[in-house]
Amino acid sequence: MKLLFVCNQGKYRSKTAQDLFSKKHNTNSAGIFSEENSLTKNKILEADIIFTMEENQRKEIATRFPKEYMMKRIICLEIPDIYNYGDPELKKILRRKVNKYEI
């Protein structure tokens, strides 16, 4: 299964999630407002499931990529932008929230 994790910059929350789930799934990450790791149409199309960290990111995907948005399962994890990359608490929250979808 191909998972795409999206946050604001694609550096902390989504990158942590990408690395955390990469042993079990094909994972990628992107930032809504990133120049280095930006969200693209191709990243969206390649994903089976897209996880956003906040609701505003899901809405931004709908605005920027309306056709692709309608074709994808997009799940908001509701994880605030208060964590650094690899934060143990962030990993714990990610495991709990993502694993409930039994992917």
Please tell me the distance from the alpha carbon of residue 94 to that of residue 17, in angstroms, as a whole number.
Answer: 7
Q: Side by side, which strands form the sheet with 2-7?
A: 26-31, 2-7, 49-52, 73-76
In the chain, where are the structural domains located? Answer: 2-99
Q: Give the CATH number of domain 2-99.
A: 3.40.50.2300
pTM of the prediction? 0.96
For the segment 2-46, what is each residue's pLDDT rounded down to a tens digit?
A: 999 999 999 999 999 999 999 999 999 999 999 999 999 999 999
